[in-house]
Amino acid sequence: ETGVTQTPRHLVMGMTNKKSLKCEQHLGHNAMYWYKQSAKKPLELMFVYNFKEQTENNSVPSRFSPECPNSSHLFLHLHTLQPEDSALYLCASSQDRGSGTDTQYFGPGTRLTVL
């Protein structure tokens, strides 16, 4: 619908598991983002990639590891997560990260539960 897809939509994992979230955008955008949305909290920016280069790491713990192989794909690799990492993880894209007026288009999110 929005041109940004995410898989899986739901994920339950144990603290010792390793999993990856995938995001793909079909909009021809150059910038991609990972956000975390916890219950009753505002969206928190985690990572930004522009033209495949990471331009922002918003003090995210190393148990979250992003990967951007090309401008259309973005991954978030997860390992040894904590229960407090349970949240909705949203991917977004925009034309270019340089303009404050660029609209960011969000994917449907992956709802992650860490047991």
Q: Which residues within the stretch 55-94 sit at the binding site for other proteins (CB under 8 A)?
A: 55-56, 90, 94
**Euclidean distance between CA atoms 49 and 42, whole angstroms:** 21
43 binds other proteins (CB under 8 A): yes
Minimum distance, C-beta of residue 85 to other proteins, in the bound complex (Å): 19
Question: How many residues of this chain interact with other proteins, rule: CB under 8 A?
Answer: 28
Residue 112 three-state SS:
strand
Q: Which residues within the stretch 2-41 sit at the binding site for other proteins (CB under 8 A)?
A: 2, 31, 33, 40-41
* Burial group, residue 89, by CB count within 10 angstroms (0-12, 13-18, 19+): buried
Other residues' Cβ atoms within 10 Å of the Cβ of residue 9: 11
The correct pick among 85, 87, 107, 114 for binding other proteins (CB under 8 A) is 107
Residues that bind other proteins (CB under 8 A): 2, 31, 33, 40-43, 45, 48, 50, 55-56, 90, 94, 97-109, 111
